[in-house]
């Protein structure tokens, strides 16, 4: 129950008792009890006046005897509220309706049943659906100003975290972890002593205390594009694709083709509708906050310990649109190093291969495009629109404007910049594996060691794949069946073909997953038109890519396999895999078999999912390696956040992308490298194995994988570790 409701209930309860005592001759309660209630009421009232909410919460929660509703009660009340909505909400008749016509009044929402039949299945499942009238749906995508958004950015700093449900928002229910109903995970965090979680609390408070504001010039450009129908800078088209006309023919083949086109267009229009609603929600928040001096994003963590803003729409974890609209509320003078990093940042945002150049190459790119940058800043939509060619156009435009103002000022180095400058990890999951395994070859591939320019792991894997395919193409097809596939693919191998598979290798991508990823890339190129040939080529390319990955990242593969084996042993005992992150946060993998539970409501019979005691063994095994690495990258980000705060830096983080003012990038770079080394100088895998052995003394776990001799301190001197 929200705190405001609890306070109201407490005040009413104590007030009522006072009145009862005055009006009745006999009362079951003693004078002493009444006086205690009166004193408590007075104390709470005074604390509210002094805005001491934590103390109010403690008293009120101690007096609250309300029991939470169970899942069945919530389902029944929720269904009845929906039923009341369908019975009472109607569409108003249009303003231009003729007076002598009956009013066109119809329900805004309808409850009906639909049967959904999956492909290749004869029978379907019947679902209850709530449908909006088309006018309501159209209105929602036109404006989101009437939408209720409870977890808005805060105008005052968030309440500091002190417990599982104590911190962040002043009155809204706030929980430090998003458990999504996983009872065991929730209880594990609740049981953890506050002292153990102090570092997590401090990191989340640091992220929540970063003050933001809306970049009004970017918002103005976005509004102009959106008003004109979208379609620029990755904004969705505000108009639907027209449905194809039905052919005036009895030809079955033509009609089938037409039906397929109609289905495809309807799917495209549904996606556009969803994207338009998403843009409207983001813009509604931006317009609401644009005149505020600054605002804050309270943060919490997912079950692995990765931090997220609690407000879901306009935040720095969002798309280029969100990131372009947001900037730090506090400005810092650029200084010489800040001007240098602002230019590099612009090249990184432009991307298209420019972000793979050395720092000097990126600086040269920006210097060579100053005319385009000035034109973009002066005439974003009327000029040459150079900024629209960038991979992140709105962020690129924001930097174009900032850099233009700085360079035109009388003293560029004293110019106040509000732009957050990013430093991103290079295939960060593999960086963590290379550090865990002290893997020299892997470390060099993902920039843990210094180089003249950034190593590109995707190009490295593509080169290995190409070598293998060239050798295979020379073989006799009668002996080696894939020789023909190798010949067909030799000219198709590039970093784009293998990039998604390399990225997802950290998350335990399977052979089938890799095959489907590569098949999509090949299909886009339309080089192999025969479906059977395309499938065979995709199978061969996936197998070859995974071989190349295994060769380059042997240590990573060994650690992944070891983690998976440990998880399998634990899950086979019908126990979830659990561990504690380096910052003391307990993690319990939530993967259990769900049971079905029927609840009869006034609307329909609902089928609810409920956790059972049975563990999903395969899911526990496959999810553990990526979840464990995510808990480590979350720890690294939190350690960096706290250290940056102590050094007086403004800091924001998006998993493996760390942000600060341009003038402070050098300091942040030093800190994030030091914290990475500090993290991996602790015996992480040894501690994990020891915790497993203590929790399951009767089980036998495989020995730790062998480690290489990579010197972690090389990271301190690597300019492209994060860049």
Q: Which of 72, 424, 494, 714 is catalytic?
A: 424
Kind plus residue range of the DSSP H or E element containing 287:
helix 252-289
Q: What is the CA radius of gyration of the chain?
A: 30
The token pair that represents 515 in the structure block: 């095959």
Q: Which of 343, 356, 499, 645 is catalytic?
A: 499
Long-range contacts of the stretch 519-525 (C-beta < 8 A, 24+): 521/496, 521/497, 522/492, 522/497, 525/492
For residue 424, indicate whether it is catalytic. yes
The gap from C-alpha 528 to its chain's centroid, in whole angstroms, comes to 35
For residue 499, indicate whether it is catalytic. yes
DSSP per-residue string spanning 541-609: HHHHHHHHHHHHTHHHHHHHHHHHHHHHHHHTTT---EEE-TTS-EEE---EEEEEEEEE-SS-EEEEE
Close Cβ partners of 225 (under 8 Å, ≥ 6 residues apart): 231, 232, 233, 235, 381
Residue of 450, 510, 428 lying closest to 676 (CA atoms): 428
SS3 465: helix
Instruction: Return the ∠ at Cα 178 (arms to 176 and 184), rounded to 5°.
Output: 95
How many Cβ atoms are within 10 Å of 6's Cβ, its own excluded?
19
Angle, to 10 degrees, between the axis of helix 53-63 and the axis of helix 3-23?
A: 60
Burial 330-360 (b: 16+ CB within 10 A, else e): ebbbbbeebbbbbbbbbbbbbeeebbbbebe
For residue 237, indicate whether it is catalytic. no
What is the Cα–Cα distance from 532 to 464, expressed in whole angstroms?
A: 26
How many Cβ atoms are within 10 Å of 103's Cβ, its own excluded?
11
Q: Which of 392, 656, 664, 675 is catalytic?
A: 656
Question: What does residue 721 show for φ and ψ, rounded to 5 degrees?
Answer: -55, -55
- CA atoms in the 13 A half-sphere facing the CB of 210: 29
What is the Cα–Cα distance from 90 to 96, expressed in whole angstroms?
A: 18
Residue of 441, 438, 435, 685 lying closest to 563 (CA atoms): 685
For the chain, the first-to-last Cα distance in angstroms comes to 45
Residue of 125, 110, 146, 454 lying closest to 288 (CA atoms): 146
Kind plus residue range of the DSSP H or E element containing 511:
helix 511-525
Q: What are the catalytic residues?
A: 424, 499, 656
């Amino acid at each position: 129950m929200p705190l405001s409701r609890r306070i109201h209930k407490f005040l009413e309860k104590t007030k009522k008792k006072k009145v009862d005592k005055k009006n009745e001759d006999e009362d079951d309660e003693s004078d002493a009890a009444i006086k205690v209630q009166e004193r408590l009421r007075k104390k709470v009232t005074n604390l509210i006046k002094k805005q001491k909410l934590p103390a109010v919460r403690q008293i009120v929660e101690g007096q609250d005897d309300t029991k939470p509703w169970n899942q069945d009660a919530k389902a029944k009340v929720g269904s009845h509220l929906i039923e009341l909505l369908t019975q009472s909400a109607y569409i108003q008749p249009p303003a231009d309706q003729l007076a002598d016509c009956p009013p066109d009044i119809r329900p805004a929402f309808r409850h009906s049943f639909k049967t959904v039949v999956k492909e290749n299945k004869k029978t379907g499942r019947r679902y209850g659906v709530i449908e909006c009238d088309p006018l309501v749906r159209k209105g929602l995508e036109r404006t989101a100003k009437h939408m209720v958004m409870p977890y808005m950015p805060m105008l005052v700093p968030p309440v500091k975290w002190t417990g599982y449900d104590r911190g962040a928002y002043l009155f809204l229910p706030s929980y430090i972890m998003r458990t999504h109903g996983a009872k065991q995970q929730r209880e594990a965090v609740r049981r953890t002593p506050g002292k153990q979680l102090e570092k997590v609390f401090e990191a989340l408070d640091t992220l929540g205390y970063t003050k933001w504001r809306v970049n009004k010039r970017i918002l103005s450009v976005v509004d102009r594009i959106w008003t004109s129908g979208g379609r620029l800078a990755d904004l969705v088209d505000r108009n639907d694709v027209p449905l194809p006309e039905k052919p005036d023919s009895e030809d079955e083949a033509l009609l089938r083709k037409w039906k397929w086109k109609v289905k495809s267009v309807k799917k495209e229009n549904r996606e556009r509708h969803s994207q338009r609603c998403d843009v409207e929600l983001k813009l509604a928040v931006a317009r609401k906050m644009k005149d505020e001096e600054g605002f804050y994003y309270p943060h919490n963590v997912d079950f692995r310990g990765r931090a997220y803003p609690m407000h879901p729409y306009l935040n720095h974890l969002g798309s280029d649109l969100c990131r372009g609209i947001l900037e730090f509320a506090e400005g810092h003078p650029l200084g010489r190093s800040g001007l240098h990093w602002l230019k590099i940042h612009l090249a990184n945002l432009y991307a298209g291969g420019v972000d793979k150049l050395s720092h000097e190459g990126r600086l040269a790119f920006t210097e060579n495009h100053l005319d385009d940058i000035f034109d973009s800043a002066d005439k974003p939509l009327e000029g040459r629109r150079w900024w629209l060619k960038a991979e992140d156009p709105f962020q690129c435009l924001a930097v174009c404007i900032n850099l233009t103002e700085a360079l035109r000022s009388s003293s560029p180095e004293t110019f106040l910049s509000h732009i957050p400058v990013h430093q991103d990890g290079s295939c960060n999951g593999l960086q963590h594996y290379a550090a865990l395994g002290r893997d020299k070859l892997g470390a060099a591939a993902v920039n843990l060691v210094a180089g003249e320019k950034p190593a590109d792991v995707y190009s490295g894997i593509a080169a290995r794949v190409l070598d293998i395919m060239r050798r295979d193409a020379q073989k006799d097809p009668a002996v080696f069946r894939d020789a023909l596939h190798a010949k067909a693919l030799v000219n198709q191998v590039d970093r784009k073909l293998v990039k998604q598979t390399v990225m997802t290798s950290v998350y335990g991508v399977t052979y089938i997953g890799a095959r489907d990823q590569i098949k999509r890339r090949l299909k886009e190129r339309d080089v192999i038109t025969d479906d059977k040939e395309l499938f065979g080529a995709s199978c061969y390319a996936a197998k070859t890519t995974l071989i190349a990955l295994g060769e380059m990242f042997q240590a990573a593969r060994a650690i992944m396999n070891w983690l998976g084996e440990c998880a399998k042993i634990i899950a086979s005992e019908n126990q979830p895999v659990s561990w504690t992150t380096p910052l003391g946060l307990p993690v319990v993998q939530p993967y259990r078999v769900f049971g079905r539970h029927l609840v009869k409501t006034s609307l329909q019979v609902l089928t609810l999912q409920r956790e059972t005691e049975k563990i999903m063994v395969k899911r526990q095994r496959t999810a553990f390696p990526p979840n464990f690495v995510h808990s480590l990258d979350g720890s690294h980000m939190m350690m960096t956040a706290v250290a940056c705060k102590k050094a007086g830096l403004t800091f924001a983080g998006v998993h493996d992308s760390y942000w600060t003012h341009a003038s402070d990038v050098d300091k942040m770079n030093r800190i994030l490298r030091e914290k990475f080394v500090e993290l991996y100088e602790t015996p992480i895998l040894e501690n994990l194995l020891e915790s497993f052995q203590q929790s399951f003394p009767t089980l036998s776990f495989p020995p730790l994988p062998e480690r290489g001799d990579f010197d972690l301190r090389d990271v301190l001197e690597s300019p492209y570790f994060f860049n």
